[in-house]
Amino acid sequence: MQTDDDAKESWHQAESGGMLRNIIYGFNDGLTANFGLLAGMIGAAAQPHFVVVSGIAGVVADALSMGSSGYLAAKSEKEVYENERRKEKLEITVMPELEARELSIIYQSKGMQKEDADRMVEQLMGDKQAFIEEKMKQELDMDTSSIHPMKEGWVTGLATAIGALIPVLPFLFTSGIPAIAISFVISMAAHFGVGAARSFFTDRGFWKSGFEMFIVGFGIAVAGYFVGEAIVRFF
């Protein structure tokens, strides 16, 4: 008998994108935000050491912001799960027969024969905790086995820091036009790369997704540059 896990198509992505999605979107956020910040500093004709200081500050701020957001989002998701789990535990305690019948019907709705479904439910009823976890998974499609708030916070924060550091790197080794040119080239290449990587989740074309992110990065750089220039001119 094919189980629900076996029946899942391999091309579907798991758990809202999972850890890989956190890495890609964290990297993208850090890269885009700091690239725009540095473009603004360049537009404002800031001294090289101010550009570096602003860039490093941007790395730290972006990483802490995205890392804490990733942690809190995962923690909130886990808290929602635990709240639903308490409700499910109470229902099983008060009306076990009804809960067992519900789970059997869920199995049958997924293609399992009634006899097989009833037999599986009967086996699960021997272990209350296992029954609750299975009921949560089948009825509410909730599973926290892959949710680790602290890990998600660290991974997202680190990915953000790496992305944010890319535009800054050339300014750590050189200055002036060469640093600006190198920063622009590697940042735009990284924008294309992260856009292409996002196509893994969106099912859009590799080149189309990459080019779209390339245009976004270019637009942010232009906007940041002219904003910086305008600030110096009018303030």
Residue 192 confidence (pLDDT): 94
The CA–CA distances, whole Å, from 134 to 16, 89, 163 equal 20, 12, 39
The tokens of 7 are what?
A: 């029946």
The CA–CA distances, whole Å, from 210 to 9, 45, 206 equal 26, 30, 6
The CA–CA distances, whole Å, from 115 to 96, 99, 118, 139 equal 19, 17, 5, 19
> Whole-angstrom Cα distance, residue 157 to residue 148?
14
Residue 108 confidence (pLDDT): 87
Task: Dump pLDDT digits (tens) for 187-233.
Answer: 999 999 988 887 777 777 888 889 999 999 999 999 999 999 898 88
> pTM of the entire structure?
0.74
Query: Which segments in the chain show pLDDT lower than 70?
Result: 1-18, 142-146
In the block, which residue shows the tokens 């080019």?
Answer: 211
> Whole-angstrom Cα distance, residue 99 to residue 59?
51
Residue 185 confidence (pLDDT): 95
Residue 18 confidence (pLDDT): 65
Residue 14 confidence (pLDDT): 41
